[in-house]
Amino acid sequence: MAFFGFFSKKEKPPEHSSFATSIFHVLGFYPTNEDLYKDALVHRSVIRNRKELSNNERLEFLGDSVIDLVVAEWLMEQFKNEPEGVLTQLRAKIVNRKNLNDCSIKMGLDKLIKTDGKIKLRNTSIPGNCLEAVIGAVYLDVNLKKASEVIQKVILGHIDAEDLISNTTNFKSRLLEWSQQEKKQIEFVISEIFESEKKLFEVEVVIGGESISKAIGKNKKEASQKASKHAVESLSIS
């Protein structure tokens, strides 16, 4: 009976520090090596006169590379037909400082950052830098897979792939460049339409007298971009 009683006991959950609990609320798991995350969240202004302490710059360097790798792999999967130049532009847009700052603040990381108290975080690149450092800490503390999961959740999880490519690539310019190379006559036929009393624009791409694509947008530029994108995809223009 004592044997069965042993297995019926509830295991006491491990005790975690308040800092580890804070990391759990931000990242979704408890750290094994808390010191890595503490270093990741210390700005150099804190240790300006205390050389014995670590700051987050080395971890930031590592995390920057990990983010670049994971984002590059995600882009390769999302955009299988896009050339290297377009993928580079897309990655730059995802990992730009403003976007990383926004991600850091949304996940609540800014509340854990230590500075000298004189710096207003929202007017600096510190939140984004600390996010990179934390990713570096996750990589060292756990592994690349876990770091990738965090990046997918906090950076890539809020990105619409279609919006990203539409807002980054000038499909109309690419289409016009192709038409010049191929000596094709191209027209953009613009029409005004109304939906629920709302004025919209429809653009039709006509190449050599043949209708290739149509799209609707809130303005002429948006409709032209969408129609050009459909045409580029339809014609398999690289």
Q: Which residue among the candidates 39, 60, 64, 141 is catalytic per the annotation?
A: 64
Q: Which residue did the predictor score with more confidence, 37 or 166?
A: 37
Q: Is the pLDDT of residue 125 over 50?
A: yes
Is the residue at 8 inside a domain?
A: no
In a domain? residue 5: no
Q: 230 phi and psi, to 5 degrees? A: -60, -40
Same domain assignment for residues 151 and 175: no
Structure token digits, residue 120:
């207003």
Instruction: State whether 83 and 188 are in the same domain.
Output: no
pLDDT in tens, 178-224: 999 999 899 999 999 888 878 999 999 999 889 999 999 888 888 88
CATH number, domain containing residue 177: 3.30.160.20
Asked if 50 and 88 sit in the same domain, the reply is: yes
CATH of the domain at 95: 1.10.1520.10
Residue 162 bears catalytic tag: no
**Would the pLDDT of 229 be above 90?**
no
Count how many domains the chain has: 2
Of 39, 60, 82, 132, catalytic: 132
Give the CA angle between residues 223, 100, 103 to the nearest 5°.
Answer: 85
Residue 48 belongs to domain spanning: 18-159
Give CA–CA dist 29/141, Å, rounded: 11
Catalytic, 132? Answer yes
Mark whether 123 and 204 lie in a shared domain: no
Residue 47 within a domain? yes
pTM: 0.67
